[in-house]
Amino acid sequence: MPHHKYNPLHILATRTDGVLLPPDTEPYSDIVYRTTAENWQKLKDEKIVEREKKPYFYLYQERDETHTQTGLVILCHVSDYDSNIIKRNELTRTAKENDFVRVTEELRAHLSPVILTYPDADGCFHKLIMPTTSEQPLFDLTYDDARHTLWRVTPTEAVQNCLEGIPKLYVADGHHRTASSSVVARKYAASHPDHTGLEEYNWFPAVIFPSTELRILPYHRVLKQLPDSVLGFVAKLGVLGTVSPFTGECTDRVPPGKLRVCIGNQWWQIELKEEIGTSTMEVEQLQDNFLAPVLGVKDVRNDPRLVFVGGKISHLLHHMQEHPEESAVAFACPPFPVNVLMEVSDKGEILPPKSTWFTPKPFPGLFFHEF
C-alpha cells in the first residue's frame, strides 16, 4: 500500500523506499523535498484530494482488537502552542524539526494531524458529539490492523462552546510537527506586513482525544549485546529492586512498579524499589539507575547499543524473533498513564526520551490542511 501512486505515504517515502528516488539518496537533499512537492501537486491535479467546500469538524474513531478511541479533528492556532495552552512534554531534535519545516513550506500544507489530549471532566465530548457515531460515516476502512471511521460534524454553537470549555491541551504525539508549524507561521508572519493572525498558515490540524479515550502504549528497550554473563547481568539488575524469575505468560501486560527482562529465553521480573532516587516513571528509573550508571548508556537517542520497540509486548517479541542477533536483552515496560503525561506537562517538565507509543496511528491521507 505505501507504494501505491495515490497513497500519501508514497509522497513522503522518497527517502527510503527506493521507488521514487534511489535508496542512497541524501535524506535532506533538495531533490527529496522537490519530489515530495511534485507528488503533492499531482494528488491535487488529479483530484485525489480536494478541499471541503464548507468548514467542518470531523469525528474520528480508531478501533483495533482491544481498544477503541474516538476524537475530534480540528484546527489549532499556533499562538495556543506558543503561549503553552497546548502543552508540550518532549524535546525536539533540530534536524527533524527543520525537516518538517521544509516539507510544510514546500507544500504549503500539513499532511497529517498531531494527537492532542485533554481531561474531559464534564463529559461534554461524550454527551454532545459521540451520538454522531450512530450516523452514516463519511469513511469506514481498515488499515494496519485497525478500523478507521470518520463522520462530518457541523460546527454548531454547542460544539464550539464545548471546545471553548477545554482550558488546555496536551501534545501526545507530534511534537516535531507542532513545533515546526509554529516556526512556519512565524516565518510567514514576518514576510506578511499585513499579518493579522487569522491567515491559514497560523493553523495546524490535530485530533483531540479525551484522556479517557486515549491509549498510550510503552516503549520497550532492547540491548543488542549482553555485556556480562547472564547471572552476572541479573545480579547487577538488583540495583533496581527485587529480581526473580518470571513464570507467567510473557505476553501479559507489565503492571505498574515493575519491569520484565528477557535474556535468551528466560524472563525475569523486577519489583522496583520505591525509594530509588527521585524517578517516578519506570522507564526513568531504568535509565537513571541502571542503563546510565551501570552500562554507560547516557545518550539513549543515539547510543548504538540500544534499540527501542514501541507497542504491546507482542511487538517486542516479534522484534526479538525477527532480529535475534540484536536482541540479547529486552526490557519490557508497563504502559504509560495519560494522567502522568498531563502532570509532567503541567509542571513544565520533560518526559524521558522514548516514553510513549501510540497506535493505531491516524490513517495517512484522510486529513490535510493547505494554506
pLDDT in tens, 96-106: 899 999 999 99
Q: What's the pLDDT band for 239 if we cut at 50, 70, 90?
A: very high
What is the mean pLDDT of the segment spanning 247-272?
93
Which three cell numbers, joined as nine digits, stand for 67? 481498544
Q: What's the pLDDT band for 3 if we cut at 50, 70, 90?
A: very low
Number of H helices, E strands in the chain: 11, 17
Which three cell numbers, joined as nine digits, stand for 141? 476502512
Q: Is the sign of the CA dihedral 147, 365, 59, 163 positive or negative? A: positive
Q: Is the sign of the CA dihedral 23, 356, 148, 142 positive or negative? A: positive
pTM here is 0.87
What is the mean pLDDT of the segment spanning 230-236?
96
What is the mean pLDDT of the segment spanning 228-239?
95
pLDDT of 42 reads 87
pLDDT of 221 reads 96
One-letter amino acid at 48 equals: I
| Backbone φ/ψ region at 354: left (φ over 0), alpha (ψ -120 to 50), beta | left
What is the mean pLDDT of the segment spanning 202-225?
94
Which three cell numbers, joined as nine digits, stand for 233? 547481568
Which three cell numbers, joined as nine digits, stand for 110? 500539513
pLDDT of 48 reads 85
pLDDT digits (tens, 9 = 90+) for 314-350: 999 999 999 999 999 999 999 888 998 999 999 999 8
**From the CA atom positions of the chain, what is the Rg in Å?**
22
What is the mean pLDDT of the segment spanning 215-234?
94
pLDDT of 1 reads 35
Q: Which helix (H) or strand (E) holds 291?
A: none
Whole-angstrom distance, CA of residue 5 vs CA of residue 233: 49
pLDDT digits (tens, 9 = 90+) for 130-164: 889 999 999 999 988 899 999 999 888 988 888 99
Whole-angstrom distance, CA of residue 185 vs CA of residue 202: 5
Q: Which of 113-127, 254-268, 269-283, 316-330 has the lowest mean pLDDT?
A: 269-283
What is the mean pLDDT of the segment spanning 55-83?
95
Instruction: Work out the mean pLDDT of the chain and round it to a whole number.
Output: 89
What is the mean pLDDT of the segment spanning 340-364?
88
What is the mean pLDDT of the segment spanning 178-197?
96
**DSSP states along 106-129:** HHTEE-S-EEEEE--TT-HHHHHT
Nearest by Cα to 239 from 213, 271, 261, 267: 271
Query: Taking 90 as the threshold, does the pLDDT of residue 122 lie above it?
Result: no
Local structure of 77: helix, strand or coil: strand
Between 148 and 280, residue with greater pLDDT: 148
Show the CA angle centred on residue 211, arms to residues 207 and 213, nearest 5°.
75
pLDDT of 307 reads 93
Whole-angstrom distance, CA of residue 191 vs CA of residue 316: 48
Percent of the chain with pLDDT over 90: 62
Whole-angstrom distance, CA of residue 177 vs CA of residue 308: 21
Pairing of strands 329-332, 258-263: antiparallel
Q: What's the pLDDT band for 2 if we cut at 50, 70, 90?
A: very low
| 208: phi then psi, degrees, rounded to nearest 5 | -105, 120
pLDDT of 279 reads 54
Output DSSP code: residue 16: T
| 258: phi then psi, degrees, rounded to nearest 5 | -135, 160
Contact 310, 319 (CB under 8 A): no
pLDDT of 182 reads 98
